[in-house]
């Protein structure tokens, strides 16, 4: 089988021919149809992601495909079944073995490209806004990086939860994507001052921040009393340092969210969230945005689109 393999952290990944793996106990093997790219894949290339394995390994965190073999002890899945899996790695390949308890059966109305773009982006935003921040109808939600893979879903889910959504992104095209996802107000981070614009809107109750850096600082100062700031990631490359005394003045809360971390200690949070999201999608309430669909031999091009911020929503790699 063909697979995109990272052999070391100093070299780019390469397409390689590997033997098709056999599923172990508790695993299913997929004929992979599509793999969604994530910002974490870029961090893995440099060994900077918190769950980066030791090289060599196959890249690709979330996949959709068809079960073609099951390991010992697996129940509930059988060959021919369509599933999506958050595997953490192994997705940019023609075949892959994954823990069966990480797989979810796909509804008939969801195609493989949509499924590969769905779990991490929508799951991150829903768990962040619902489980962590307890976003309430009528509150003001400020979304930074609002046209990115997770940011766009935060706009969509925030609107679905009844919030007034302010989307912050760079450039007219990205802001238009956020507006189409349901944003009520737009801030161009390239030309407008976040703090000034938010002051005219009365401040933020909840901030969704996958960016970090200077935008975090501006959003922090834009919060209303008892505001909640969700730290999702640091796409800017700068991890902000928080002065604890500033938290006291407005009774602010800073909430970290690592979606995949719940697999280790409260997986029911993720499975319950995913059931809700799949129901919303089936009802036509969610419309995943995939800006680029590329074949496996152009996977590194897809990663470059994310790194240079030339994509909106998700980039998905199809596997022949």
In this prediction the pTM is 0.89
Check if the beta carbon of residue 127 is closer than 8 Å to that of residue 153: no
Strands (E) located in 37-178: 57-58, 62-70, 82-86, 95-99, 103-105, 140-143, 164-169
Cα–Cα distance, 64 to 181 (Å, whole number)? 24
Check if the beta carbon of residue 56 is closer than 8 Å to that of residue 83: no
Query: Which residues lie across from 58 on neighbouring strands?
Result: 5
Beginning with the edge strand found earlier in the chain, give each strand of the sheet holding 14-17 in spatial order: 14-17, 2-6, 57-58
**Secondary structure (3-state) at 106:** coil
Check if the beta carbon of residue 168 is closer than 8 Å to that of residue 143: yes
Cα–Cα distance, 304 to 66 (Å, whole number)? 28
Cα–Cα distance, 204 to 196 (Å, whole number)? 12
**CA dihedral for 144, 145, 148, 149, sign (positive or negative):** negative
Q: Domain 2-118+288-318: which topology?
A: Quinone Oxidoreductase; Chain A, domain 1 (3.90.180)
DSSP string over 90-104: --SBSEEEEEGGGEE
Bridge-based pairing of strands 82-86 and 103-105 is: antiparallel
Reading the chain (320 residues) residue by residue, the pLDDT tens digits are 999 999 999 999 999 999 999 999 999 999 999 999 999 999 999 999 888 999 999 999 999 999 999 999 999 999 999 999 999 999 999 999 999 988 999 998 899 999 999 999 999 999 999 999 999 999 999 999 999 989 999 999 999 999 999 999 999 999 999 999 999 999 999 999 999 999 999 999 999 999 999 999 999 999 999 999 999 999 888 999 998 898 999 999 999 999 989 988 898 898 889 889 999 999 999 999 999 999 999 999 999 999 998 999 999 999 98
90 phi-psi bin (left φ>0, alpha ψ -120 to 50, beta other):
left
CA atoms within 13 A on the CB side of 268: 0
Q: Which helix (H) or strand (E) holds 221?
A: none
Q: Write the pLDDT tens digit of every residue in 264-277.
A: 889 889 888 988 99
**Secondary structure (3-state) at 280:** helix
Q: What is the CATH number of domain 121-260?
A: 3.40.50.720
Q: Which two tokens stand for residue 177?
A: 């994507």
Cα–Cα distance, 105 to 306 (Å, whole number)? 28
Of residues 205, 193, 183, the one with CA closest to residue 255: 205
CA atoms within 13 A on the CB side of 165: 30
pLDDT at 264: 86
Domain layout of the chain by residue ranges: 2-118+288-318, 121-260
């Amino acid at each position: 089988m063909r697979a995109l393999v990272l052999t070391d952290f100093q070299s780019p990944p390469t397409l390689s021919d590997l033997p098709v793996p056999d599923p172990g106990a508790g695993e299913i093997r997929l004929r992979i149809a599509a793999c969604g790219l994530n910002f974490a894949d870029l961090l893995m290339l440099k060994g900077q992601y918190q769950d980066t394995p030791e090289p060599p390994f196959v890249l690709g965190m979330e996949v959709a495909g068809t079960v073609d073999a099951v390991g010992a002890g697996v129940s509930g899945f059988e060959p021919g079944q369509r599933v999506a899996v958050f595997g953490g790695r192994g997705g940019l390949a023609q075949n892959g073995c994954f823990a069966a308890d990480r797989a979810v059966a796909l509804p008939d109305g969801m195609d493989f490209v949509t499924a590969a773009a769905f779990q991490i982006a929508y799951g991150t935003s829903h768990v962040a806004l619902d489980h962590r921040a307890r976003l309430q109808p009528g509150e003001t939600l400020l979304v930074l990086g609002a046209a990115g893979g997770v940011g766009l879903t935060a706009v969509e889910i925030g609107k679905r939860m009844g919030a007034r959504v302010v989307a912050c992104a760079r450039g007219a095209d990205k802001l238009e994507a956020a507006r189409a996802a349901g944003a009520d107000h737009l801030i161009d981070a390239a030309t407008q001052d976040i703090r000034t614009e938010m002051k005219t809107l009365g401040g933020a109750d909840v901030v969704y921040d996958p960016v970090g850096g200077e935008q975090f600082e501006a959003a922090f100062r834009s919060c209303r009393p008892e505001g909640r700031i969700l730290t999702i990631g640091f796409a800017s490359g700068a991890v902000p340092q928080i002065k604890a005394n500033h938290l006291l003045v407005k009774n602010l809360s800073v909430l970290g969210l690592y979606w995949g971390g719940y697999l280790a200690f409260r997986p029911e949070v993720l499975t319950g969230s995913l059931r809700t999201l799949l129901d919303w999608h089936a009802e036509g309430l969610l419309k995943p945005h995939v800006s680029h669909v590329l074949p496996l031999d152009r996977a590194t091009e897809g990663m470059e689109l994310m790194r240079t911020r030339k994509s909106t929503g998700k980039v998905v790699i199809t596997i022949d």
